[in-house]
Structure 1
């Protein structure tokens, strides 16, 4: 019996007319679509769905009541009733709570992490829900420490206690199946450590949660693409350097690493049309007997799984045969390939075949999702093109989570940045040092750069 499930893969591709690419039952790794663009902007609109995916709390929608018809907010009404003020104070208290809870914009204020569970979700946009689900699956990866942050109802003041107590607690736990498989556990671990740290600083946590989550998911996507591009050489245990600049640096010349084709976002931009073929190549290669959990295997994982085993040659033969069948499905636009003599070559040949077989518009549309999703961290600088950028807020957030509670040498700070996917050239490092020094976050022990320490931000 063949190891590769070629009949199943064939069915996935041909069940629609004309044939189209379908990953089948293999777990997903990214949430994007070929035709729909992710709306540029912050992660804020996704937070409700994101947190509920983590806590597995399913909030029941509030039924329309007579209070709605009277223009009275049921939430505010329940708080006032729990206080039971004197009649002449009730109206004033309702007005105060209405403004305190909703402000001028009418959105509920996030005075406590538990309230994230009750933020309105993305009912009208399936892509938003997919992105929120991907973020919770790959960044949190079922870490209960993170779930506990958003499940905790303990408060530090009476007003917050009244508000949390008045929330509609008619909820039921619901099991949320993992859809998106985490392939970069080092980023998952760093994100959880950073989130737990800032959760100890209440106001900063509320302010920074959407930015930190958005940044980490964008980094995850870019890093995943870079690993895929390296085929079997990809190192999934550490970040591949991607150079950023600072948005207050002024002119960024083409000679800077942040503006280069090799070290900056241009590398992502140029290679992004190949992300979709890579995903389908590995999904097809992962569709084999023995993969009982329908796991998504990366190129290095497939090499490790089959190399040196008695199944290696049989699997190689199956892949070579599938490459021929694939050409039969998608026709002459897929060029005839020689049979590969080893798995590493076979993976590249299949990738080239799928790249040719795919609609170019679909490849480009899928790849462009990276730029749309990461627009908050990108800036266009004239002839230097699109560049990865950190603003002041993001630099301080990145510094806060890198330093945490103990001062560290300045060189260690830059190493911590790089762990999180941010590399800086000497020009940007100098600006960072000047910026932190001006904010009094630098301890100077001597004129030597190595003897300078960064103090905790929070």
Structure 2
């Protein structure tokens, strides 16, 4: 049953849902792209702190202890080293191990927003597979002199040992991520230049599915992703297209009042039977299916009792809803609606802007009179096609490409598919159909 706790709009006490802040200064603006988040993930994978901080004193010691013929040589080396470090910290890397030296944004408040994304991504895709992912990355590391020096210039901090915050809601997605990462690592050069796009796509996939599926309450589907349709950002668009109806417009509506779910899931999490946190609506449905209808009805009744004895007492404009043997889903929906009305419009606005910032930075296409649209860039698309097809000398029948992309969150309508075929043909990644009518194949990009 729901515990007898005081009512407050409290998120992240029992359940972590999204990595979005409700305060503007803490919002990640992604001016440096997703690379600060990616770098923190790579540091932790390498058994280091999630933070990167340069030890300038160590830099000076390296320069002073170096053996130089003359002072001009020493000065030239010092200048080279500092310039290279600055370039790497700005994201201009050419070695895999250099990717981890990109710091969080210097603005401490915005860095908090990046940290939220780090925890979300790490918990969903890395934590449960850390040893396997370490093994994958160890095969692409090639320690050189500059990387050795960079390691010496890092301020020593404690290794990452924080407990999980977010729940892995989509096991199939996590499994696919690791498989794709292994394929991507077969081409270290491609990995270095496209790892950020790869991380962004899986983050987008997890966020959009979590939002859409949570809005389905007990009908949350953890195995079959809901199609959120993307345009290719180089193509023309029309209002009748699926990308307009089931893309940005759909997500905007799905997320409009999503903040209410954050609080309801935390209210429900103050129950007396769940040993661990991070339960979503479908988790309760699964639990009570095993416990039986009598236990489920007792829990439903306790929700309405909590509304009457706690929520309505503390908030004047809340009218209790009488218990009339409602279903579990009806109880959840009633509670969400009551909480939704208590959240101020400005909070919804700041919260939704945090998600919108992510979409605008990585998936926005200006549709003119159609407004903002959801679109994937050719580079993002080719990164995901690369892992769909597989390593060098692999090929994939074109007809199967679309299903493989959908496993990775890339849903396209028929018109966009034609644009993709044209793009692949232009780049010579497509085997032409023979006169005998054989199927077309997409060639390996890696």
Same fold (TM over 0.5): yes
Match for residue 218 of structure 1? 204
Distance 1:357 1:448 in 2: 66
Pair 1:296 & 2:278 matched: yes
Q: In the alignment, is the contact (CA less than 8 A) between 2:97 and 2:141 conserved in 1?
A: no
Match for residue 180 of structure 1? 166
Match for residue 36 of structure 2? 45
Q: In the alignment, is the contact (CA less than 8 A) between 1:113 and 1:149 conserved in 2?
A: no
Query: 1:420-435 maps to which residues of 2 (within 5 A)?
Result: 420-435=408-423
Distance 1:171 1:106 in 2: 18
Q: In the alignment, is the contact (CA less than 8 A) between 1:112 and 1:160 conserved in 2?
A: no
Match for residue 4 of structure 1? 2
Match for residue 316 of structure 1? 300
> CA offsets, 1:307-347, max 9 Å, x none?
25252222121112123232333332557466442212111
Q: RMSD of the TM alignment (CA)?
A: 3.0
Pair 1:112 & 2:100 matched: no
Q: What is the DSSP-based 3-state SS (H/G/I as helix, E as strand, rest coil) of the residue aligned with 1:451?
A: coil
Q: What is the DSSP-based 3-state SS (H/G/I as helix, E as strand, rest coil) of the residue aligned with 1:57?
A: coil
**Distance apart, 1:216 and its partner CA:** 1.7
Q: In the alignment, is the contact (CA less than 8 A) between 2:140 and 2:188 conserved in 1?
A: no
Query: 1:245-260 maps to which residues of 2 (within 5 A)?
Result: 245-250=231-236, 252-260=237-245
Which is worse superposed, 107-116 or 320-329?
107-116
Which is worse superposed, 192-201 or 394-403?
192-201
Pair 1:30 & 2:21 matched: no
Q: Pick the aligned partner of 2:261 from 278, 286, 293.
A: 278
Match for residue 48 of structure 2? 57
Q: Unpaired segments of 5 or more residues in structure 1?
A: 14-20, 68-72
Match for residue 326 of structure 1? 311
Pair 1:416 & 2:400 matched: no
> CA offsets, 1:195-241, max 9 Å, x none?
23223322222221222212221221111111011122221112110
Match for residue 288 of structure 2? 306
Q: In the alignment, is the contact (CA less than 8 A) between 1:222 and 1:370 conserved in 2?
A: no
Match for residue 17 of structure 1? none
Match for residue 198 of structure 1? 184
**Distance apart, 1:397 and its partner CA:** 0.9
TM-score by length of 2: 0.86
Distance 1:56 1:176 in 2: 12
Distance 1:444 1:343 in 2: 55
Q: In the alignment, is the contact (CA less than 8 A) between 2:389 and 2:396 conserved in 1?
A: yes
Query: 1:48-87 maps to which residues of 2 (within 5 A)?
Result: 48-58=39-49, 61=53, 65=57, 73-74=59-60, 77=63, 81=66, 84=67, 86-87=69-70
TM-score by length of 1: 0.84
Q: In the alignment, is the contact (CA less than 8 A) between 1:219 and 1:421 conserved in 2?
A: yes
Q: In the alignment, is the contact (CA less than 8 A) between 2:209 and 2:225 conserved in 1?
A: yes
Distance 1:383 1:449 in 2: 42
Q: In the alignment, is the contact (CA less than 8 A) between 2:136 and 2:185 conserved in 1?
A: yes
Distance 1:168 1:287 in 2: 42
Match for residue 439 of structure 1? 427
The number of residue pairs the alignment matches comes to: 431
* 431 and 404 in structure 1: CA distance in 2 versus 1, 3 angstrom threshold: same
Q: In the alignment, is the contact (CA less than 8 A) between 1:49 and 1:133 conserved in 2?
A: no
Q: In the alignment, is the contact (CA less than 8 A) between 1:226 and 1:240 conserved in 2?
A: yes
Pair 1:146 & 2:146 matched: no
Q: What is the DSSP-based 3-state SS (H/G/I as helix, E as strand, rest coil) of the residue aligned with 2:434?
A: coil
**Distance apart, 1:165 and its partner CA:** 6.3
Q: Unpaired segments of 5 or more residues in structure 2?
A: none
Distance 2:437 2:419 in 1: 13
**Distance apart, 1:282 and its partner CA:** 2.2
